[in-house]
C-alpha cells in the first residue's frame, strides 16, 4: 500500500540519513553508486525512455554531487549506450572525496570523453539531447559562484533554448531548506533526488526550478531515518482521502458549521464560505450575517443552508450587540468559521474575541485576522482549537514578518514558531501552502496553481477547513487534508481552462475530488481512469514501470514526485 505522507528533510537531516546508512553497514561508495544508478535512469526517463546513441553532457562540480555525475556517465554509456561528455568545470585535478575521485579516475581511465573548464559550454550544450546538472549538492547555499556559477548560467541558457535539463539531487542554486532560489539557479525539467524529498524542492520559488521530481531510494536504513526524524511531510492522495462516513451518520455526525461572515457589499464571501463547508461534506451549515444582507446571502446559497440575521450598524456592518445575538455555537462534531467579508470595526473585534473564548473549534480568516493587527499576541488567548488562515500580508500582521514579502520569504522558520507560540494551527497560504501545527508538525501542500489565485477561493477554503475539523480526532492533519482538497479542486476546475478557474468552478469540483480520493484510497491509489503524468513545472516525459498505486496517484496531476525507483531499490 502506498504511504499516506512523504517525509520531507532539510539538508542536515539528509546528510544524517547518509551517515546513518553508513553506520548501519552501507558504504559511501555504495551510496554514490546507488545514486548514480537512479540519476542514469532519470536521464533515460527525461529522454522519453530511449537514450541509446543520444548525446548527454554532464556538468560536474568538485563535491559528491559531481561524483554522482562521473558514476552516472559511466552507467549511461555502458548500460544504456549514450554518448556522454563529462565537463569538469573546476578541472580534473581538484581535491575530492575518495569515492568521487575514484569515479572520476574510472571514467578517465576507460577513455570517457572529458572536457575541463567552462570554455565553449554553450556550443557543447547546444549539441546535447540532455544536459545534467551535477554542480552543487544539498550543502550549498546562495547563488552558484566561480566556475559553477558560469556553468549554471550556461545551463539556464541551454534550457531556454529547449535543451532538456536533469538536476542531480536538486538544481544548483536552489536551497534544500527553505525553497529559495538564486536568480542564476538552474532550471530543470526533471530533478532526481536521493533518499528522501528535500523540503525545499516543494516550496516556492524552488519548485518552479525543480520540474518533475523523481525519488530514488538509498535503502531501508535511510528510509527509516527519514520517517523517524522528519517533522515535515507532504500528503499523498491516499493520505488526503476523506474518512468513510458510517452508514448511520446523520447531519450532526457529519459536522455542523456556523459561518460568521458577510456584510453589505461582501455577501459573496459569506456565501462562498458556507458553500465550501457544504460541498466538502458538512451536514448542517448556518450563516450568521448582518440583518440587512440576510436575504441576499440566503439567495446566494444552497437551500439547505440556514441564514440568521445579526444586529447591524447604519452602514450594514456588524454591531457591538451582535455578540449577544449569535446562534448557539456547534458542540460535539462542529466548528465555527469567522471572517470572510465580515468587515472591520469595534463590533467585529468584539464578536471575534467572543468566539475565541467560546468556540471549541474555530477558524479565523480575512477580517477576523485583521482585527488582531494591533495586538497579535491576543490570538494566544483562546478556549479551544484555533486555526488561522493568513495570506502573506495577513501573516505579517499577526507576527510573521515586517511585510508580506518578508513573511513569505521567512515562512519556513517563522510559521512553525508562531504556531507553537500561539498554540494554533496556521495555514500560510500561497504557492506550496504550509500547514503548521502547534506540536511542531508541518505539511507542505505539493499541489496548487494559478486557478487558486482568483477572488473568493480563500473564502471557499475557510469553509472546507471548518468542515474537515468539525469531527476530526487529529485536527492539524484534518486541516492539511482540507488544504489538499481545495488545491486539488482548483486543479480539476482549471484543467481545461488554462488555470483560469473561479471560486464557483472550484466549488463545483470539490465533490468530484472527494469522491475520487475516496475511491482511490479504497483501490490503493487514486482515480485510475485518468492516466496523465505527474508533472510539476512541466517535465518532458512520463516514467513507466513505477508502482501501480503511484501511477494511479499521478492521475491527479497532483504528485510532483514519484517513488519509481523505490520498488526495485536498484544500484
pLDDT tens by residue, 126-160: 999 999 999 999 988 889 999 999 999 999 999 99
Contact between residue 505 and residue 494 where contact means Cβ atoms under 8 Å apart? yes
Instruction: Classify residue 242: in a domain, yes or no.
Output: no
**For 536-547, what is each residue's pLDDT tens digit?**
322 222 222 222
Domain final residue pick, 237, 272, 295: 237
Contact between residue 427 and residue 388 where contact means Cβ atoms under 8 Å apart? yes
Domain final residue pick, 237, 267, 293: 237
The pLDDT score that the predictor gives to residue 526 is 43
| Domain at 371, CATH number | 3.40.1190.20
116 burial level (CB within 10 Å; 0-12, 13-18, 19+): middle
The pLDDT score that the predictor gives to residue 523 is 56
* Average pLDDT for 496-502: 89
Percent of the chain with pLDDT over 70: 91
Longest Cα–Cα distance of the chain, Å, equals 86
Instruction: Classify residue 16: in a domain, yes or no.
Output: yes
Overall number of domains in the chain: 2
Instruction: Classify residue 534: in a domain, yes or no.
Output: no
* Average pLDDT for 260-281: 96
Instruction: Classify residue 243: in a domain, yes or no.
Output: no
59 shares a domain with 208 = yes
Using omega within 30 degrees of 0 as the cis cutoff, is the peptide bond preceding 232 cis? no
Higher local confidence (pLDDT), 441 or 316: 441
431 shares a domain with 383 = yes
Higher local confidence (pLDDT), 373 or 571: 373
Q: Is the pLDDT of residue 318 over 60?
A: yes
> What residue has cell string 482548483?
490
Instruction: Classify residue 542: in a domain, yes or no.
Output: no
| Domain at 56, CATH number | 3.40.50.10260
Instruction: Classify residue 532: in a domain, yes or no.
Output: no
109 burial level (CB within 10 Å; 0-12, 13-18, 19+): exposed
260 shares a domain with 218 = no
The pLDDT score that the predictor gives to residue 374 is 93
The pLDDT score that the predictor gives to residue 142 is 87
151 shares a domain with 263 = no
Distance of CA 246 to the CA centre of its chain: 31
Q: What is the mean pLDDT of the chain?
A: 89
Instruction: Classify residue 566: in a domain, yes or no.
Output: no
Q: Is the pLDDT of residue 179 over 70?
A: yes
The pLDDT score that the predictor gives to residue 3 is 79
346 shares a domain with 258 = yes
Nearest to 571 by CA among 196, 176, 27: 27
**For 32-44, what is each residue's pLDDT tens digit?**
999 999 999 999 9
319 shares a domain with 221 = no
145 shares a domain with 21 = yes
Domain that residue 217 falls in: 5-237
* Average pLDDT for 248-272: 92
Render the burial of 426-451: b for 16+ CB within 10 Å, e for the rest. bbbbbbbbbbbbbeebbbbbbbbeeb
* Average pLDDT for 213-238: 92
Contact between residue 294 and residue 307 where contact means Cβ atoms under 8 Å apart? yes
**For 444-477, what is each residue's pLDDT tens digit?**
998 888 889 899 999 999 999 999 999 999 999 9
Domain final residue pick, 191, 207, 237: 237
The pLDDT score that the predictor gives to residue 141 is 83
229 shares a domain with 253 = no
The pLDDT score that the predictor gives to residue 63 is 93
**For 71-102, what is each residue's pLDDT tens digit?**
999 999 999 999 999 999 999 999 999 999 99
Q: Is the pLDDT of residue 209 over 70?
A: yes
The pLDDT score that the predictor gives to residue 546 is 28
226 shares a domain with 340 = no
Q: Under DSSP, is residue 213 helix (H, G, I), strand (E, B) or coil?
A: strand
The pLDDT score that the predictor gives to residue 2 is 61
Instruction: Classify residue 564: in a domain, yes or no.
Output: no
Q: What is the rounded distance in angstroms from the CA atom of residue 87 to the CA atom of residue 66?
A: 10
Q: Is the pLDDT of residue 506 over 90?
A: yes
160 shares a domain with 255 = no
> What residue has cell string 512520463?
542
495 shares a domain with 419 = yes
The pLDDT score that the predictor gives to residue 533 is 26
**For 405-450, what is each residue's pLDDT tens digit?**
999 999 999 999 999 999 999 999 999 999 999 999 999 998 888 8
271 shares a domain with 188 = no
* Average pLDDT for 280-287: 96
The pLDDT score that the predictor gives to residue 18 is 94
* Average pLDDT for 241-260: 87
Q: Is the pLDDT of residue 515 over 70?
A: yes
Amino acid at each position: 500500500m502506498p504511504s499516506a505522507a512523504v517525509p520531507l528533510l532539510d539538508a542536515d537531516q539528509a546528510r544524517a540519513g547518509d551517515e546513518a546508512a553508513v553506520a548501519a553497514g552501507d558504504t559511501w561508495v555504495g551510496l554514490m553508486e546507488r545514486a548514480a544508478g537512479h540519476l542514469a535512469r532519470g536521464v533515460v526517463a527525461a529522454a522519453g525512455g530511449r537514450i541509446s546513441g543520444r548525446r548527454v553532457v554532464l556538468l560536474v562540480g568538485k563535491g559528491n554531487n559531481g561524483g554522482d555525475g562521473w558514476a552516472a556517465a559511466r552507467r549511461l554509456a555502458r548500460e544504456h549506450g549514450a554518448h556522454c561528455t563529462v565537463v569538469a568545470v573546476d578541472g580534473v585535478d581538484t581535491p575530492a572525496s575518495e569515492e568521487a575521485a575514484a569515479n572520476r579516475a574510472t571514467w578517465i581511465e576507460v577513455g570517457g570523453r572529458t572536457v575541463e573548464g567552462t570554455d565553449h559550454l554553450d556550443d557543447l550544450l547546444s549539441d546535447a539531447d540532455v544536459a545534467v546538472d551535477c554542480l552543487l549538492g544539498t550543502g550549498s547555499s546562495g547563488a552558484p559562484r566561480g566556475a559553477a556559477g558560469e556553468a549554471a548560467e550556461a545551463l539556464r541558457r541551454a534550457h531556454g533554448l529547449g535543451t532538456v535539463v536533469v538536476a542531480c539531487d536538486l538544481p544548483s542554486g536552489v536551497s534544500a531548506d527553505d525553497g529559495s532560489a538564486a536568480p542564476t539557479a538552474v532550471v530543470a525539467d526533471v530533478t532526481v533526488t536521493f533518499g528522501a524529498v528535500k523540503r525545499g524542492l516543494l516550496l516556492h520559488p524552488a519548485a518552479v526550478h525543480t520540474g518533475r521530481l523523481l525519488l530514488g531510494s538509498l535503502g531501508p536504513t535511510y528510509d527509516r531515518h527519514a520517517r523517524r526524524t522528519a517533522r515535515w511531510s507532504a500528503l499523498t492522495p491516499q493520505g488526503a482521502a476523506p474518512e468513510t462516513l458510517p452508514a448511520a451518520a446523520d447531519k450532526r455526525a457529519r459536522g455542523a458549521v456556523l459561518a460568521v461572515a458577510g456584510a453589505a457589499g461582501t455577501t459573496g464571501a459569506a456565501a462562498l464560505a458556507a458553500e465550501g463547508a457544504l460541498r466538502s461534506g458538512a451536514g448542517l451549515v448556518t450563516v450568521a450575517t448582518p440583518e440587512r444582507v440576510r436575504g441576499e446571502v440566503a439567495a446566494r446559497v444552497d437551500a439547505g443552508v440556514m441564514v440568521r440575521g445579526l444586529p447591524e450598524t447604519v452602514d450594514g456592518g456588524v454591531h457591538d450587540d451582535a455578540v449577544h445575538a449569535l446562534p448557539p455555537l456547534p458542540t460535539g462534531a462542529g466548528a465555527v468559521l469567522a471572517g470572510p467579508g465580515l468587515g472591520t470595526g469595534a463590533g467585529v473585534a468584539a464578536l471575534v474575541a467572543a468566539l475565541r473564548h467560546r468556540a471549541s473549534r474555530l477558524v479565523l480568516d480575512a477580517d477576523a485576522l485583521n482585527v488582531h493587527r494591533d495586538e497579535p499576541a491576543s490570538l494566544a488567548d483562546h478556549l479551544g482549537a484555533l486555526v488561522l488562515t493568513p495570506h502573506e500580508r495577513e501573516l505579517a500582521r499577526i507576527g510573521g514578518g515586517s511585510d508580506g514579502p518578508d513573511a513569505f520569504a521567512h515562512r519556513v522558520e517563522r510559521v512553525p514558531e508562531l504556531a507553537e507560540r500561539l498554540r494554533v494551527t496556521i495555514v500560510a497560504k500561497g504557492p506550496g501552502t504550509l500547514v503548521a501545527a502547534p506540536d511542531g508538525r508541518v505539511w507542505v501542500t505539493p499541489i496548487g496553481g494559478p486557478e487558486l489565485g482568483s477572488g473568493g477561493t480563500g473564502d471557499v477554503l475557510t469553509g472546507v477547513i471548518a468542515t474537515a475539523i468539525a469531527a476530526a480526532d487529529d485536527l492539524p492533519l484534518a486541516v492539511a487534508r482540507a488544504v489538499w482538497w481545495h488545491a486539488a479542486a482548483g486543479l480539476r476546475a482549471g484543467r481545461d481552462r488554462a488555470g483560469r478557474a473561479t471560486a464557483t468552478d472550484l466549488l463545483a469540483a470539490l465533490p468530484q475530488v472527494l469522491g475520487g480520493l475516496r475511491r482511490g484510497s479504497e483501490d490503493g491509489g487514486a482515480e485510475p481512469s485518468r492516466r496523465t503524468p505527474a508533472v510539476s513545472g512541466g517535465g518532458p516525459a512520463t516514467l513507466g514501470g513505477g508502482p501501480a498505486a503511484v501511477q494511479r496517484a499521478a492521475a491527479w496531476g497532483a504528485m510532483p514526485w514519484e517513488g519509481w525507483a523505490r520498488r526495485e531499490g536498484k544500484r
